[in-house]
């Protein structure tokens, strides 16, 4: 068997930064309407994470199902950038385990300010997948590109409007398992919020409470479902980015645009019986507070612009050095 090329050596100096990236990704997944995939995209590690996750899952599959179990496992493991995956997972775990309760409180107690900040972050982030678009192939119609973008935006807008179910206080384990399998798929797609899916099926608050109270039985079932969902979806997404890159990135940008429906700061709230406090309501004209959400939205835009500028500068330096 030929020697398998390992990914380029990642500087160990990036380890604290990658832990921070993971923390921000995990933090985003705790907020309904914000996708961890969006944060990974903006911080410049999205495609590397998807590729490494795909190889890691293939390694486990080869180990369990063969052929050449150990050789196949080592082959795919060598292709996985563990010095990226490990720190990011560590940062995500820190966010989920130690910030879940505080984040739920922030979103519930200051909904307009929270949505304003995340509106700015996600709106500015739409530029990221558009900047990554490869040149259009000869004969490709611009109308088709626009159609993919618009359809994805409309689908996200409609689905977000459905995420207003009440809380399921004591769900069956099979419900937890299936919900986790679907929600984790949303984790890796920019513009699709796993938290919003949990909100739609009534498991958002229940899941955060389980994390905050360290309900090990609930968390074990949720983790099992998440692993199954991730194993089923990451390889599909990696294939789409390789073979249908332009269409996939356009759809991602459209999903991010449609998801802004959830982040308009001024929304009505339903009754406690019919709607979660975090869920989307009817979109309203601005009401007090106005200045805080607007300033936080501007701050969110500036943060993303700064990150894009930083990433562009780093990429330019790499290109000059190469």
C-beta separation of 81 from 52 below 8 A: yes
Report residue 169: phi and psi, to 5°. Answer: -75, -35
C-alpha closest to that of 46 among 161, 187, 160, 162: 187
Q: How high is the pLDDT of residue 272?
A: 42
C-alpha closest to that of 106 among 186, 27, 159: 27
- Count of CB atoms within 10 A of residue 142's CB? 8
Please report where in the chains the tokens 């938290």 appear, as a residue: 195
Q: CA-to-CA distance for 123 and 25, rounded, in angstroms?
A: 17
Q: How high is the pLDDT of residue 127?
A: 86
Please report where in the chains the tokens 């309904």 appear, as a residue: 32
Please report where in the chains the tokens 């990554």 appear, as a residue: 132
Any idea how long the chain is? 322
C-alpha closest to that of 248 among 232, 263, 237, 259: 237
Q: What residues contact 83, with CB distance under 8 A and at least 6 apart?
A: 10, 12, 15, 18
Q: Please measure the distance between the N-terminal and C-terminal CA atoms of the chain and give it in whole angstroms.
A: 31
Q: How high is the pLDDT of residue 118?
A: 82
- Measured CA distances, 252 to 24, 35, 128, 187, 292 (Å): 19, 11, 10, 12, 29
Q: Which residues of 285-309 are buried (b: 16+ CB within 10 A; e: fewer)?
A: eeeeeeeebbebbeebbebbeebbe
pLDDT by 10s per residue, the chain, length 322:
445 556 666 777 778 888 988 898 888 777 766 777 778 877 778 888 888 888 888 888 788 777 778 888 888 888 888 888 889 999 988 988 888 777 767 777 888 888 888 888 888 888 888 888 888 776 667 788 889 999 999 988 887 776 555 566 788 888 899 888 888 876 777 766 677 677 767 787 788 888 878 888 999 999 899 888 877 787 788 788 888 889 988 988 888 888 888 788 898 765 443 344 555 667 889 998 999 999 999 998 988 888 778 777 766 776 676 5
The residues with which 236 forms a beta bridge, in sequence order, are: none
267 DSSP 8-state letter = B
Please report where in the chains the tokens 């590397």 appear, as a residue: 48
Q: Which two tokens stand for residue 154?
A: 């409309």
Q: How high is the pLDDT of residue 294?
A: 95
Q: CA-to-CA distance for 169 and 208, rounded, in angstroms?
A: 12
C-beta separation of 117 from 296 below 8 A: yes
Burial of residue 8, with CB atoms counted within 10 A of its CB: 0-12 exposed, 13-18 middle, 19 or more buried: exposed
Q: How high is the pLDDT of residue 101?
A: 72
């Amino acid at each position: 068997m030929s020697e398998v090329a390992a990914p380029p050596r990642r500087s160990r100096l990036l380890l604290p930064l990658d832990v921070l990236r993971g923390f921000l990704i995990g933090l985003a997944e705790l907020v309904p309407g914000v996708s961890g995939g969006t944060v990974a995209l903006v911080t410049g590690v999205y495609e590397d994470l998807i590729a490494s996750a795909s190889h890691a899952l293939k390694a486990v599959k080869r180990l369990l199902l063969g052929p050449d179990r150990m050789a196949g496992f080592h082959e795919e493991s060598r292709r996985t950038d563990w010095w990226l995956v490990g720190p990011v997972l560590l940062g995500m775990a820190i966010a989920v385990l130690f910030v879940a309760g505080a984040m739920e409180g922030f979103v519930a107690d200051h909904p307009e300010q929270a949505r304003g900040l995340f509106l700015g972050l996600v709106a500015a982030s739409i530029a990221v997948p558009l900047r990554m678009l490869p040149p259009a192939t000869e004969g490709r119609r611009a109308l088709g590109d626009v159609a993919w973008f618009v359809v994805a935006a409309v689908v996200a807008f409609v689905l977000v409007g459905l995420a207003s179910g009440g809380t399921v206080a004591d769900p069956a384990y099979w419900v937890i398992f299936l919900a986790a399998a679907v929600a984790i798929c949303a984790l890796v797609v920019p513009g699709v919020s796993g938290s919003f899916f949990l909100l739609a099926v009534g498991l958002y608050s229940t899941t955060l409470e389980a994390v905050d109270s360290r309900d090990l039985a609930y968390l074990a079932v949720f983790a099992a479902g998440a692993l199954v969902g991730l194993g089923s979806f990451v390889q599909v997404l990696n294939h789409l980015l390789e073979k249908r890159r332009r269409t996939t990135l356009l759809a991602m940008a459209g999903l991010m645009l449609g998801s802004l429906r959830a982040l308009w700061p001024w929304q009505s709230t339903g009754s406690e019986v019919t709607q979660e406090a975090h869920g989307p309501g009817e979109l309203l004209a601005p009401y007090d507070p106005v200045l805080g959400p607007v300033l936080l939205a501007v701050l969110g835009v500036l943060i993303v612009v700064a990150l894009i500028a930083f990433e562009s500068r780093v990429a330019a330096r790499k290109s000059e050095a190469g």
